[in-house]
Amino acid sequence: MKSGETLLRVRYAETDQMGVVYHSNYFIWFEVGRTEYFRQLAMPYAEFEKNNLLLLVTKAFCQYKSPACYDDLLRVVTGVNSLQEVRMTFKYEIFRHEKNELLAIGETEHAFVNRMGKPVVLKKYNPFLWRRLLEATGEQQE
Amino acid sequence: MKSGETLLRVRYAETDQMGVVYHSNYFIWFEVGRTEYFRQLAMPYAEFEKNNLLLLVTKAFCQYKSPACYDDLLRVVTGVNSLQEVRMTFKYEIFRHEKNELLAIGETEHAFVNRMGKPVVLKKYNPFLWRRLLEATGEQQE
Amino acid sequence: MKSGETLLRVRYAETDQMGVVYHSNYFIWFEVGRTEYFRQLAMPYAEFEKNNLLLLVTKAFCQYKSPACYDDLLRVVTGVNSLQEVRMTFKYEIFRHEKNELLAIGETEHAFVNRMGKPVVLKKYNPFLWRRLLEATGEQQE
Amino acid sequence: MKSGETLLRVRYAETDQMGVVYHSNYFIWFEVGRTEYFRQLAMPYAEFEKNNLLLLVTKAFCQYKSPACYDDLLRVVTGVNSLQEVRMTFKYEIFRHEKNELLAIGETEHAFVNRMGKPVVLKKYNPFLWRRLLEATGEQQE
């Protein structure tokens, strides 16, 4: 499964005095997208952390095309861009759901780290999860 | 020292589409007030956590009198309302600094817990810190 | 309809370094509860604002009983406590949904104001909405 | 003045259960940096909005090098990357202040829009501000 989808509703708290959503909130929605994507892969991210594997954000990017507004129903489409032994990247698209209007696109890069924040080589650190991620995302090992 | 003061500047991210600060942010400012109060007492809260003592919020209250706006310079006045062996309460006042205009008052209650979230009796758990808190806040033991 | 229910999933961004949800986020969930409650009453809050009526928070309270954690599925139960001509109050209960475990209870008070932030007497300002709120919440006029 | 500096203290609310700052908060700090940069130029951003000019974020990027932690004192260095008639870009560096340790770098792009969200050509829309921005940032008109 190369991508997953989830719906969310814009909260009042997420707006600012411009009358639209404050830009940093899109990164929180990306995280909601990742969480639901992993759940749809039957690998909930909460389980990763219980197994002492964390996905530390190392880069984050968003391009805003049209503003999201209070109470909008949004669709977050999350996919894997690349999977490597020490990191993976995700890409996102956020749509105003009913109108199918693209509001933003984004990307995040994550290092595999343990609870102490030390980078780990996933293939060695957790070969089982590594194979499942490879299969799930349909990636060729790079 | 029964109370401490700190200044902060309202961030754009803290506003909402009403054009004023979203109400939940005042609780974050209360936390800023607590942090600076402990620092002014020469007992930084970060040290508490290093000593395996956490102040878990068990109640929080705020009354809003006049809205804070983007770029306002605010003064948070933080004091201790009560200190008991298992909990303590703080009170707060938030002012628009230059006009000395009272914007909000609030109160939070905190349980003393260890890193596992288990309640502890501070007097036994950390007698040194207990005495320093008693002295610092000028509280009589209740 | 005296109360409404909505489900939400705890976001990673809502946790803090204690490993549980940061306390101010519960007030944002209360707001999600209100929004969904009004939607279930067929009176979306977004419509209120289009009609130049805002519900300004004047008091907020929360009591925390057990901490919410990342990825928990929560149920927010929202009801009206009182409806008066110039203000209304809501009460909330937040449950860990599957275990039906009560995590927090809260209350918020809201003044009816126009877009300029001026208090209005809802009964005169918008008699139609006033009657619908009275009916919907089953309140006797106080 | 090509860049400005401001100090800020990491808030407990900004941490997450990894024990470090949640990544979306850096974008809020970038905004704090912009606000203080404009203040240091004697052109507070709040004045822009009163003159019906808004800087809408169209792109945002951050690269994370080392995590910020609770109570860290940070220094945000904000500069202008480019100034054009319809948009401008800022760049940021965030340091752990006392150790002078670089934690993150970033960039944001902003469109000049009016209160209705319509793009405007700043040179025509507000020639006075346009010239002051040109002078202040030492940019050559592109």
Tell me, what's the ipTM?
Answer: 0.95
> What average pLDDT does range D57-64 have in this prediction?
98
* pLDDT band, residue D123 (cuts 50/70/90): very high
* pLDDT band, residue A136 (cuts 50/70/90): confident
Position D137 scores a pLDDT of 80
Position A77 scores a pLDDT of 98
Residue in C13, C17, C24 closest to D19 by CB = C17
Give the C-alpha separation, D123 to B39, whole Å. Answer: 48
In chain B, whose CA is at the least distance from the CA of D19? B49
Q: What percent of chain A has pLDDT over 90?
A: 89
* pTM for the model: 0.96
User: In this model, does residue B140 exceed pLDDT 70?
Assistant: no
pLDDT tens by residue, C18-71: 999 999 999 999 999 999 999 999 999 999 999 999 999 999 999 999 999 999
Record: contact A61-D64, CB cut-off 8 A: no
* pLDDT band, residue D2 (cuts 50/70/90): confident
Residues of D in contact with C15 (CB under 8 A): 16-17
Position D100 scores a pLDDT of 98
Residue A68 C-alpha from the chain's centroid: 18
- Helix, strand and coil percent figures for chain D, each rounded to 5: 30, 40, 35
> What average pLDDT does range A114-121 have in this prediction?
95
User: In this model, does residue A14 exceed pLDDT 90?
Assistant: yes
Q: For residues A13 and B24, is the Cβ–Cβ distance under 8 A?
A: yes
* pLDDT band, residue B139 (cuts 50/70/90): low
A118/chain D closest Cα distance in angstroms:
11
User: In this model, does residue A64 exceed pLDDT 80?
Assistant: yes
A15 inside 8 A of chain B by CB: yes
| Domain at C118, CATH number | 3.10.129.10
Record: contact D24-A20, CB cut-off 8 A: no
Pick from B14, B57, B114 the residue to mutate for testing the C interface (most C CBs within 10 Å): B57
In chain C, whose CA is at the least distance from the CA of D22? C13
User: What is residue A20's DSSP assignment?
Assistant: S
User: In this model, does residue B142 exceed pLDDT 50?
Assistant: no
Give the C-alpha separation, D4 to D6, whole Å. Answer: 7
In chain D, whose CA is at the least distance from the CA of B25? D13
Residues of C in contact with B23 (CB under 8 A): 27, 57, 60
On whether residue B142 sits in a domain, the answer given is no
Q: Which residue among the candidates B7, B11, B16, B114 is catalytic per the annotation?
A: B16
In chain B, whose CA is at the least distance from the CA of D32? B11
B-D contacts (CB, under 8 Å): 33
- All partners of chain C with 3 or more CB pairs under 8 angstroms: A, B, D
Residue in C20, C28, C62 closest to B60 by CB = C62
C18 inside 8 A of chain B by CB: yes
B101 inside 8 A of chain A by CB: no
User: In this model, does residue C125 exceed pLDDT 90?
Assistant: yes
Q: For residues B81 and B90, is the Cβ–Cβ distance under 8 A?
A: yes
Record: contact C13-A35, CB cut-off 8 A: no
Record the tokens describing residue A109, joined without a space.
Answer: 């890069």
Measuring CA to CA, which residue among B71, B73, B65 is closest to residue B102?
Answer: B65
D32 inside 8 A of chain B by CB: yes
Position C142 scores a pLDDT of 45
* pLDDT band, residue D136 (cuts 50/70/90): confident
pLDDT tens by residue, B48-62: 999 999 999 999 999
Give the C-alpha separation, C55 to C43, whole Å. Answer: 13
Average pLDDT value for chain A: 94
C139 or C118, greater pLDDT: C118
On whether residue C40 sits in a domain, the answer given is yes
C27 inside 8 A of chain B by CB: yes
pLDDT tens by residue, B89-121: 999 999 999 999 999 999 999 999 999 999 999
D71 inside 8 A of chain B by CB: yes
On whether residue B105 sits in a domain, the answer given is yes
C71 is catalytic: no
Going across the sheet that includes D54-64, the strands are A3-9, A73-83, A87-96, A101-113, A54-64, D54-64, D101-113, D87-96, D73-83, D3-9
Residues of D in contact with A20 (CB under 8 A): 117
Q: For residues B75 and B27, is the Cβ–Cβ distance under 8 A?
A: no
* pLDDT band, residue A139 (cuts 50/70/90): low
Average pLDDT value for chain D: 94
Residue in A12, A13, A16 closest to B12 by CB = A16
On whether residue B45 sits in a domain, the answer given is yes
On whether residue A142 sits in a domain, the answer given is no
> What average pLDDT does range D74-90 have in this prediction?
96
User: In this model, does residue B42 exceed pLDDT 60?
Assistant: yes
Indicate the number of domains in chain D. 1
pLDDT tens by residue, B10-38: 999 999 999 999 999 999 999 999 999 99
Q: How far is the CA of B129 from the CAs of B40, B50, B108, B124, B126, in angstroms? A: 15, 13, 20, 10, 6
Structural domain including D82 reads: 3-137
In chain B, whose CA is at the least distance from the CA of A70? B17
Position C137 scores a pLDDT of 80
C119/chain B closest Cα distance in angstroms:
12
Position C136 scores a pLDDT of 82
Measuring CA to CA, which residue among B38, B37, B94 is closest to residue B62?
Answer: B94
Residue B123 phi/psi, 5-degree rounding, is -55, -35
The count of other CB atoms within 10 Å of the CB of residue B13 is 22
User: In this model, does residue C139 exceed pLDDT 70?
Assistant: no
> What average pLDDT does range A74-85 have in this prediction?
96
Record: contact C13-A28, CB cut-off 8 A: yes
Position D1 scores a pLDDT of 67
Among A110-114, D85-89, D133-137, the range scoring the smallest mean pLDDT is D133-137
On whether residue B102 sits in a domain, the answer given is yes
Residue in C23, C56, C117 closest to B57 by CB = C23
Residues of C in contact with B67 (CB under 8 A): 56, 117
Position A72 scores a pLDDT of 98
Sequence-ordered strand ranges (E) for B34-100 = 54-64, 73-83, 87-96
Measuring CA to CA, which residue among D107, D105, D27, D23 is closest to residue D61?
Answer: D107
pLDDT tens by residue, A81-108: 999 999 999 999 999 999 999 999 999 9
On whether residue C142 sits in a domain, the answer given is no
D28/chain A closest Cα distance in angstroms:
7
D54 inside 8 A of chain C by CB: no
Record: contact C24-B20, CB cut-off 8 A: no
On whether residue D142 sits in a domain, the answer given is no
> What average pLDDT does range A25-49 have in this prediction?
96
| Identity of the residue numbered D111 | A
A-C contacts (CB, under 8 Å): 32
Record the tokens describing residue B136, joined without a space.
Answer: 């610092």
pLDDT tens by residue, D11-31: 999 999 999 999 999 999 999
> What average pLDDT does range D100-129 have in this prediction?
96
